[in-house]
Amino acid sequence: MSDCGPELVANIAKEINACAVAWFERRRFWDWSEVEQTEFDAWLSQSLAHRAAYVRIEALWNGADRIAALRATHEPARARQDKKKFVPGLRRVLFGGSMLVLAAAVGIGTWLYLSTPRKQMFATPIGSHETITLNDGSQIELNTDTVLQASIGAGRREIWLDKGEAYFQIVHDPTRPFVVVAGNDRLTDLGTKFVVRREPDRLRVAVVEGRVRLDASSGASRQRSISLAQGDVVVATADAAPLAKESATEMTDELEWRNGTLVFDNIRLADAAAELNRYNAVQIVVADTAAARTIIGGKFPANDISAFTELVQHVLGLRVVNNGREIVISR
Amino acid sequence: MTETPETTSDGADPGLGGSNAGNIDIWFAREIVPLESGLVQFLQHHWRDRNDIEDLVQDIYVRIYEAALKEIPDLARRFLFTTARNLLIDKIRRTQIVCIETVSDLEALDVVNDMPGPDRTAIARDELRRLQLALDYLPSQCREVVVLGRLEGLSGREIATRMGITPATVSHHLNRALTMLAAVMHDDAPESRGEI
């Protein structure tokens, strides 16, 4: 600290910034005496460069809590409690009878699926994701609020994706084709990793590695077969199934839910909110149409809306009101 | 944009001085600091020597503070980039070797429409990404200190107790992390290049 006393007038930005860091560290984290306050006041009033540097480092530090990397390694006790509180309630609401048993069992972790030709059902509650391992070595990771059934027989392997999203890592076996059925659409795996998301009006398939064939027959008039390669993304609706390309980075970002994180890259605030709503009981409502169109980006914990709402409030300057069931965003 | 926030959660510290100075600090922390990565991109684009950037930023901030002492500008972004442009023009005029086009280029710049990062989100995102990258390079013990200090709001002594390390070590880690924070905007973030 002696280097940063009031007697020294540093001119070089680097030195001033170093002094600002040293003062901030002392003032924020350690016992602070009146002598120090006097010295600090003197330093601060010595030049506007000092003042700007100090306010700047303070602002950067205060903003540092928005960094996902900090949160990723650190789940505050508060968030853990919240999770415990709302998940059982949700299960009651969403899963009746045997589904409740299933949902509870999912919590155990990785399942080993035994070779039985009959259908088995797997489900995840809102906000969780689980991996199942099939007896052929293939793995399926179920994202939030997903239901699928599996039938692994000697001659064929079939999965029915009833709703939600799942990431498939399939061990190729030419004698036993691996088929994913989602409504009227069928995906045949040709040795690969891919992610499938089923929504009421559309099916989205993205191929991370290898090749997949999609036989889409959602629309009454259309029936077509599309071959998908690595990086291909297709969104099949009732009347179209346009093909797009995604970079490896985009693909990795898209699959960040497997680590409990959502990555938004230049999407509308309303879409980001809808995405987060898939993972949380408390729903975000964007009440203002102009605000809804705001383009945002960033990395957010899927189960902790606060990181998102803080950004909305502090960076976008929008109003955020939490009424318990809903978080309403407006101007 | 001159509104005074009820809270100072965006980094302003009203304990630093008189009420007017305090308001400027709040305004500066809220409106100017978040624009820094955009400002640095702008400077890198228009100024050859990367080693000057940190000093240029500081000179610009001093000008901003001087102006704000008289009156806090309404449009922070526009004001920041106009100040940056004028400072560069002044500097270029003082050095003889620069060709005249650079100056006229700068003079022709439309500060309202041509400046980088039209929305604050993109800039804030870039800032977050830089911080994130930088943080990834900190040793894990140092990171833990940052987490406890920032997310849990512990004091230096509490961090030392919690982690079972000496206060001197905590202080060392905090200084290192803060120095990283202070420098991160000036370092090149390879993936954000060419966004201007």
Write the DSSP assignment of A188-215 as a string of letters.
Answer: EESS-EEEEEEETTEEEEEEEES-EEEE
pLDDT of the residue at A135: 80
Q: What ipTM, to 2 d.p.?
A: 0.80
At B62-121, the pLDDT tens digits run: 999 999 888 888 888 889 999 998 898 888 777 655 444 555 566 666 655 545 544 555
Terminal-to-terminal C-alpha distance of chain B: 25
Half-sphere exposure in the Cβ direction for A262 (13 Å, CA)? 27
Return the residue matching tokens 């898209």. A254
**Mutation site for B-interface testing, chosen from A62, A253, A311 by largest number of B Cβ within 10 Å:** A62
Query: Which top CATH class is A97-251?
Result: mainly beta
Q: How confident is the model at residue A20 (pLDDT cuts 50, 70, 90)?
A: very high
Closest CA to A308 of A193, A198, A121, A274: A274
* Greater pLDDT, A307 or B189: A307
pTM of the model: 0.47
**pLDDT of A173 higher than 90:** no
Specify the pLDDT at position B1.
36
Residue A206: per-residue pLDDT: 93
By CB atoms closer than 10 A (0-12, 13-18, 19+), residue A266 is exposed
Mean pLDDT (whole number) for A190-204: 86
Q: How far is B164 from chain A (nearest CA, A)?
A: 17
Cβ contacts below 8 Å, chain A against chain B, sum to 165
Which top CATH class is A260-330? Answer: alpha beta
Pairing of strands A111-112, A130-133: parallel
> Which of 84-103 (A) contact B at CB < 8 A?
none
Q: How many CA atoms lie within 13 A of A198 on its CB side?
A: 22
The secondary structure element, H or E, covering residue B65 is helix B53-70
Write down the pLDDT at residue A176: 82
Which region among A37-46, A284-293, A307-316 has the lowest average model confidence (pLDDT)?
A307-316
Residue type, A72: A
> Which of A52, A53, A64 faces B150 most closely, judged by CB atoms?
A64
Whether the pLDDT of residue A21 is over 60: the answer is yes
The band of B9, judged by pLDDT with boundaries at 50, 70 and 90, is very low
Backbone angles phi, psi at A324, to 5 degrees: 100, -55
**Domain extent listing, chain B:** 1-118, 119-196
Residue-wise over B69-90: b if at least 16 C-beta within 10 A, else e?
Answer: eeebbeebbebbbbbbbebbbe
pLDDT digits (tens, 9 = 90+) for A198-242: 888 888 999 999 888 888 765 544 567 788 888 899 888 877 778
Whole-number pLDDT of residue A114: 33
Residue whose C-alpha is closest to residue A120's, from A108, A129, A133, A107: A133
- Do residue B175 and residue A25 have CB atoms under 8 angstroms apart? yes
Residue B29 to residue A58, Cβ atoms within 8 A: yes
Question: What mean pLDDT do residues A247-257 have?
Answer: 89
Q: What is the mean pLDDT of residues A116-140?
A: 79
**CB within 8 Å: B127 and A65:** no
A53 — contact with chain B (CB < 8 Å)? yes
Average per-residue pLDDT for chain A: 78
CATH for B119-196?
Answer: 1.10.10.10
pLDDT at B34 (0 to 100)? 82
Helix (H) or strand (E) holding A125: none
Average of per-residue pLDDT across A7-15? 69
Share of chain B above pLDDT 70, in %: 61
